[in-house]
Structure 1
Amino acid sequence: MPNPETGYVMDMKALSRITAEEVLEKFDHKNLNLDTIYFKDLNPTAEHIAMVIYELLRARIDPKLELQVRLYETERNFVEYPAD
């Protein structure tokens, strides 16, 4: 539900910053198996990547807010976590 004072569910600038810090800085242009701790012992399938991203974002986003990660491999192939 949007905040009655701001009209936002969440400030998009804050969400963008969190996403940059928790996803882009950690995973963009990286060999997930070799360059990150998250996939050292976890196969980086789309399903696992979505789960890891969800956990990273969930830790930084108000637990009262719903959160779902949708990760596209191709235009037609994607995973969602948690699934509906």
Structure 2
Amino acid sequence: MSARPIAHLSRRWSFVAAHRLHVDSLPAEQNREIFGKCNNPYGHGHNYIVQATFSGPVDEATGMVTNLADLDAFAKAELLERYDHQNLNTIKPFLTLVPTTENLAVEVWRIFSAYPHAKLTRIHVEETGNNAFDYFGEGEKEVS
């Protein structure tokens, strides 16, 4: 019996959200020095693009790593309904965590790592045309 080939599937979703980069324990001037215009007291928004990559054996019957309809339903319920048209500063865990896109990528990893039908291998979050962040689960506890 031959082993089933492993394929890598990447899927993209987009959402609009606002945030303000600010550390409460730092003086106002230091926040402005560190975060610049991203420290605007009224916040600012981005059109985020999230790309999740999953790996798994190609199913012999369907020829797929996972069913895209299942994956899209999961993304809608767990990512888009939570973040689209929201102020990230008002959503857990960003009530206590600076809502940088680096931290957002880690949180998106935590969301998609719960997807039961394929193994998450990468999260890619685009904040702007110039800024994109990748997270591969480094530091995350392995789920067995």
TM-score range, shorter chain: 0.7 to 0.9
Q: Quick one: distance in 2 between partners of 1:51 and 1:66?
A: 12
User: What does residue 84 of structure 2 align with?
Assistant: 28
Q: What stretches of structure 1 of length at least 5 have no aligned partner?
A: none
Cα distance in structure 1, aligned partners of 2:120 and 2:89: 29
Identity rate, percent: 28
Give unpaired runs (5+ residues) of structure 2.
Answer: 1-56, 139-144
CA distance in 2, matches of 1:10, 1:45: 30
> Is 1:58 aligned to 2:113, yes or no?
yes
The structure with the greater share of residues assigned to strand is 2
Q: How high is the TM-score relative to the length of structure 2? A: 0.52
Q: CA deviation at 1:38?
A: 1.9
Is residue 72 of structure 2 the alignment partner of residue 11 of structure 1?
Answer: no
Higher RCO (CA < 8 A, seq sep 6+): 2
Counterpart-to-counterpart distance in 1, 2:78 and 2:137:
21
Q: Secondary structure at the match of 2:119?
A: coil
Provide the C-alpha distance between the structure 2 equivalents of 1:21 and 1:67, rounded to a whole number of angstroms.
20
Give 1 or 2: higher helix fraction: 1
How many residue pairs align between the two structures? 82
> After the TM superposition, which segments of 4 or more aligned residues of structure 1 sit over 6 Å from their partners?
none
**Contact residue 109 and residue 135 of structure 2 kept, 8 A:** yes
Q: 1:51 to 1:11 in 2, by over 3 A?
A: same
TM-score, normalised relative to structure 1:
0.86
Q: CA deviation at 1:82?
A: 1.3
Distance 2:136 2:95 in 1: 22
Aligned-residue RMSD, C-alpha: 1.8
